[in-house]
Amino acid sequence: MASGLRTWLGIAAGALMLAALFMVFVYVPTEAEEGIVQRIFYFHVPIAWVTFAAFGLVAISGVFYLWMRQQVWDELGYAAAETGMVFCTLMLVTGSIWAKPIWGTWWTWDSRLTTCLILWLLYGGYLVLRVLADDTPETARLAAVVGIVGALDVPIIIVSVRLWRTIHPAVLVTRQGSHGLEDPRMIATLLVAMAAFTAFFCWLLWLRFATLRAGARVARLKLRLALAAAGD
Amino acid sequence: MPAAIVEARQLAMNFGATPVLRAVDLRVEAGRGAIVTGGNGAGKSTLLKLLAGLNSPSHGHALLFGTEARRLAAGQRRRVGLMTHQSFLYPNLTARENLEFYASLYELRSPRDAAERWLGRVGLAAASGERVRALSRGMEQRLSAARAMIHEPDALLMDEPFAGLDSGGVSILASLIKEAIARKSAVLMTAHGAPAIEGVELERFELERGCLAAPKAETRTGRLRSLLGG
Amino acid sequence: MAAMLAILRKDLRLELRSGLSTTALVSLSLLILVVLVFALPASVAGAEPAAGALWVAMIFSGMLGATRALSAERENGCIRALLQSPVDPATLYAAKLAAAFIFMAVAEIAAILMMVLFFNLDFDLRIIRLAPVILLGALGFAALATLLAAISGHTRASDLLLPMLAVPMFVPALIAGVKASAAALAGEPIAAMGAWIKILVAFDVLFVASGYLLFEFVAGED
């Protein structure tokens, strides 16, 4: 039973998250340069990975929808966009929290945060389109195109923002990726955190997707009922 | 049975929870004319739009040349002519420029000549250099008909084509339709009342609240009688 | 191809008659430049702020142009007639893109002149160096805006949605364009702008191709 599997996924995500929390706050050693604040890294990186993955999923669903014209792809794309938006917001927040104690400002235009903001705006545009348009196959097509074009744009965005920042370096320069993870415990923690957030994302996505599917089914049934009533 | 050029098979359309068309069956073959009548809200325009491929039906099939109207290939679209309440004319282009433009879109060999010829046919030769925004309603309607027919389509779909025409316009349009049928096109039009076209047998379909009454054929000796509007 | 030229010719002819699109683009650019002069610090002059101001003007007037072009086609249902005709939606996109690009390019000439005036630059050959950058930018923006205008035109608040979608998507071209423009105005050699030009070209290729391939999914009406 699908929802049974989903429940197991939820439990697994919960367990992984607890493990991750333990590892981040207790197990992993404090990083030499940045101190305690650096622990946010173990949240920020998995969240970033999930955000980009969600974006990719929106685009891939879009491609499949335009190809197969089956509503399930449209619902998957919408669910991925909504869930991705949540994580994108978290990414902005964790990025900001990370910046503050180290550099003294809540916001900085370094390449990572800037890209994150643009991504957030792209997600936002997609969702506004969904909200403003009616629930029709036409809207599904439009959203699919927006998702695809947005995703294709992301690599160019990343490159251009990075170039922008290296030529005119900002006040601060953020660490890239896993630079500076010497201790194997750090790597382990990062991996567990990645697994935890991925599972958590998948579980949320599944929930949202199931809700959208159920909602569509209810709408169809309601319509059939109304039509049957009107027909007589 | 010869293949139908325009065909509706159990065609149904709902706008939300409101059924507008219910299981309509209709065929028009080459060289035949059909007219769909009915009051306001009977579903005539919806039926025509579905058959033209402008909308997707809720159920059933709208077919042109045996293919789903919404999925016509470019070559098939070339054989369809459409006239609706919207004129499809560019207000800031002249009558001639509009016809030349559409003639070239439909890949006619000599758009300019075709435009001249059709301007003459609809009685707009004198006004050919006028911008469409300066034309009267009746003239615009005639130009719109010319636009729909300039490429001599095999399927001609017209939504209330006689509305807004004076008696001169009506007879012009009637003769054009007669020519189209003689040329083996399939013609389907909608109207409020039932104009009869001299010398042409029109199959009549009546729509009432989305349902078809039984089809009746007009008699050959129908007099020209145009009922404008309701 | 012939169809694309026919549609383009039609759009150019309409524009020559009314002149509304280019006038709108030029006026809005002028107004934006004036606003920026007041809004920016009093001592602003020189290549960088000028380049920035020019691109701000380009983006916002470009969005206006795209919206107007679309609503002109909606009048009397002409867009429907175009889609009913044998013309490919992709060909229709190419024609619309070409028209938008031409109008933007013409408007940019005026905008560049105003920019040079307002930001106290010299009228010399460095402005010529600006041309390829601006043209690349205009092409990319025209490609983007033509596609997105068709998308947002289907919704209730199309004038809200178009900027919301267009601005984040245009960021790479904006960054590259402004930097390259500033470099051109400051007299730097082409080599220095190499990376930025590459980004602009990549952007243009992406959006022209995407628009061409995806327009058929957004053009119709259901």
Per-residue pLDDT of chain A (232 residues), as tens digits, is: 577 888 888 899 999 888 888 888 887 777 766 677 778 888 888 999 999 999 999 999 999 999 999 999 999 999 999 999 999 999 999 888 888 887 788 888 888 889 999 999 999 999 999 998 887 888 999 999 999 999 999 999 999 998 888 765 543 444 444 455 667 788 888 888 999 999 999 999 999 999 999 998 998 898 888 878 776 5
* Chain B contact present for A231, CB below 8 A: yes
Q: What is the pLDDT of residue A178?
A: 43
Contact status, residue A114 vs residue A168, Cβ threshold 8 Å: no
The pLDDT mean for chain B works out to 85
C-alpha to C-alpha distance for C43 and C32, rounded to whole angstroms: 18
C-alpha to C-alpha distance for C129 and C204, rounded to whole angstroms: 19
Give the one of B78, B86, B92 whose C-beta lies nearest to C77's C-beta.
Answer: B86
Q: What is the pLDDT of residue B205?
A: 86
C-alpha to C-alpha distance for B80 and B72, rounded to whole angstroms: 10
* Chain C contact present for B67, CB below 8 A: no
Residue C181 has pLDDT above 80, yes or no: yes
State how far residue A138 is from chain C, nearest Cα, in angstroms. 6
Q: Is A10 a domain residue?
A: no
Give the one of C6, C80, C84 whose C-beta lies nearest to B80's C-beta.
Answer: C84
Q: What is the pLDDT of residues C81-138, one digit of tens each?
A: 999 999 999 999 999 999 999 999 999 999 999 988 888 887 777 788 888 999 999 9
Residue B142 has pLDDT above 60, yes or no: yes
Residue B6 has pLDDT above 80, yes or no: yes
CB contact under 8 A, C82 and B74: no
Q: What is the pLDDT of residues B80-122, one digit of tens each?
A: 999 999 999 999 999 999 999 999 999 999 999 999 999 999 9
Which ipTM was obtained for this model?
0.89
In this prediction, residue B222 has a pLDDT band, given cuts at 50, 70 and 90, of: very low
Distance of CA C59 to the CA centre of its chain: 6
Q: What is the pLDDT of residue A82?
A: 95
Contact status, residue B26 vs residue B61, Cβ threshold 8 Å: no
C-alpha to C-alpha distance for C148 and C154, rounded to whole angstroms: 10
**What residues of A are in contact with residue C168 (Cβ under 8 Å)?**
118-119, 121-122, 125, 150, 157
CB contact under 8 A, A163 and C160: no
Residue B23 has pLDDT above 70, yes or no: yes
CB contact under 8 A, C13 and B55: no
- Residues in contact with B219: Cβ distance below 8 Å, sequence separation at least 6, in sequence order: B201
Residue B219 has pLDDT above 70, yes or no: no
CB contact under 8 A, B19 and A231: yes
Residue C195 has pLDDT above 70, yes or no: yes
State how far residue A191 is from chain C, nearest Cα, in angstroms. 32
Contact status, residue B195 vs residue B226, Cβ threshold 8 Å: yes
DSSP B134: G
Q: A residues 179-218 near C, CB within 8 Å?
A: none
Q: What are the tokens at C105?
A: 């390019």
Instruction: Single out the residue of A85, A54, A83 nearest to residue A211, CA to CA.
Output: A83
Residue B202 has pLDDT above 90, yes or no: no
C-alpha to C-alpha distance for C157 and A133, rounded to whole angstroms: 9
Q: What are the tokens at C174?
A: 């904006």
Q: What is the pLDDT of residue A167?
A: 60
* Chain C contact present for B102, CB below 8 A: yes
Q: B residues 123-162 near C, CB within 8 Å?
A: 147
CB contacts < 8 A, A to B, total 14
Give the predicted TM-score (pTM) of the model.
0.88
Contact status, residue C124 vs residue C44, Cβ threshold 8 Å: no
CB contact under 8 A, B16 and A223: yes
State how far residue C12 is from chain A, nearest Cα, in angstroms. 28
CB contact under 8 A, C80 and B56: no
C-alpha to C-alpha distance for C24 and A184, rounded to whole angstroms: 62
In this prediction, residue B216 has a pLDDT band, given cuts at 50, 70 and 90, of: low
Long-range own/partner contacts, residues C48-52 (CB < 8 A, 24 or more apart): C48/C182, C48/C186, C49/C119, C50/C115, C50/C116, C50/C118, C50/C119, C50/C121, C50/C182, C50/C185, C51/C178, C51/C179, C51/C181, C51/C182, C51/C185, C52/C178, C52/C182
Contact status, residue C145 vs residue C69, Cβ threshold 8 Å: no
Q: What is the pLDDT of residue A3?
A: 78
Q: What kind and span of H or E run contains C181? A: helix C158-185
Q: What is the pLDDT of residue A180?
A: 59
CB contacts < 8 A, A to C, total 93
Q: Is A29 a domain residue?
A: no
CB contact under 8 A, C210 and A152: yes
C-alpha to C-alpha distance for B130 and C41, rounded to whole angstroms: 53
Q: What is the mean pLDDT of residues C189-205?
A: 89
Which chain B residue's Cα is nearest to A229? B17
Gyration radius of chain C over CA positions: 18
DSSP B53: T
C-alpha to C-alpha distance for A41 and A189, rounded to whole angstroms: 10
* Chain C contact present for B190, CB below 8 A: no
Q: What is the pLDDT of residues C128-179, one digit of tens each?
A: 888 899 999 999 999 999 999 999 988 888 888 999 999 999 999 999 999 9
C-alpha to C-alpha distance for A88 and A56, rounded to whole angstroms: 13
C-alpha to C-alpha distance for A225 and C216, rounded to whole angstroms: 34
Which domain does A161 fall in, by range?
37-170+181-231
* Chain B contact present for A68, CB below 8 A: no
Q: Is A80 a domain residue?
A: yes
Separation of first and last alpha carbons in chain B: 35
CB contacts < 8 A, B to C, total 67
Q: What is the pLDDT of residues A70-79, one digit of tens each?
A: 999 999 999 9
Q: What is the pLDDT of residue C165?
A: 95
C-alpha to C-alpha distance for A157 and B32, rounded to whole angstroms: 59
Spell out which chain C residues touch chain A, with contact meaning CB-CB distance below 8 angstroms: 147, 151-152, 154-157, 160-161, 164-165, 167-169, 171-173, 175-176, 179, 195-196, 199, 202-203, 206-207, 210, 214, 217-218, 220-222
Which of B90, B97, B106, B151 is the best substitution to test chain C (most C C-beta atoms within 10 A)? B90
Please name every residue paired with B24 in a beta bridge, in sequence order, or none if there are none.
B11
Q: Is A92 a domain residue?
A: yes
C-alpha to C-alpha distance for B174 and B149, rounded to whole angstroms: 13
C-alpha to C-alpha distance for C127 and C187, rounded to whole angstroms: 9
**What residues of C are in contact with residue B105 (Cβ under 8 Å)?**
3, 6-7, 82, 85-87
Q: How many domains does chain A have?
A: 1
Q: Which amino acid is at A115?
A: T
C-alpha to C-alpha distance for C85 and B102, rounded to whole angstroms: 8
Q: Is A2 a domain residue?
A: no
Give the one of C13, C76, C80 whose C-beta lies nearest to B54's C-beta.
Answer: C80
C-alpha to C-alpha distance for B202 and B216, rounded to whole angstroms: 9
Instruction: Single out the residue of C39, C198, C201, C8 nearest to residue C102, CA to CA.
Output: C8
What is the SS3 assignment for B161? Answer: coil
Q: Counting beta carbons within 10 angstroms of the beta carbon of residue C122, is it exposed (0 to 12), middle (13 to 18) or buried (19 or more)?
A: exposed
Q: What is the pLDDT of residue C210?
A: 95
**What residues of A are in contact with residue B22 (Cβ under 8 Å)?**
231
What is the SS3 assignment for B88? Answer: coil
CB contact under 8 A, B86 and C76: yes
Q: How far is CA A184 from CA A43, A47, A193, C74, in A?
A: 17, 21, 14, 63
Q: What kind and span of H or E run contains B14? A: strand B4-15
In this prediction, residue C42 has a pLDDT band, given cuts at 50, 70 and 90, of: low
**What residues of C are in contact with residue B104 (Cβ under 8 Å)?**
2-3, 6
Q: What is the pLDDT of residue B101?
A: 95
Pairing of strands B33-37, B202-208: parallel
Assign residue B53 a region (left: φ > 0; alpha: ψ between -120 and 50; beta: otherwise): left
C-alpha to C-alpha distance for C211 and B203, rounded to whole angstroms: 45
State how far residue B74 is from chain A, nearest Cα, in angstroms. 20
Q: What angle (nearest 5°) sits at the alpha carbon of residue A117, between those of residues A111 and A123?
A: 135
Distance of CA A18 to the CA centre of its chain: 20
Q: Is A20 a domain residue?
A: no
A neighbour chains, 3+ CB pairs within 8 Å: B, C
Q: Is A4 a domain residue?
A: no
Give the one of B17, B22, B56 whose C-beta lies nearest to A223's C-beta.
Answer: B17
In this prediction, residue C44 has a pLDDT band, given cuts at 50, 70 and 90, of: low
State how far residue A150 is from chain C, nearest Cα, in angstroms. 7
Pairing of strands B155-159, B4-15: unpaired
Give the one of C164, C210, C222 whose C-beta lies nearest to A137's C-beta.
Answer: C222
Residue B46 has pLDDT above 60, yes or no: yes
CB contact under 8 A, B92 and C17: yes
Which chain A residue's Cα is nearest to B14? A227
State how far residue A223 is from chain B, nearest Cα, in angstroms. 6
């920035």: which residue's tokens? C52
State how far residue C167 is from chain B, nearest Cα, in angstroms. 32
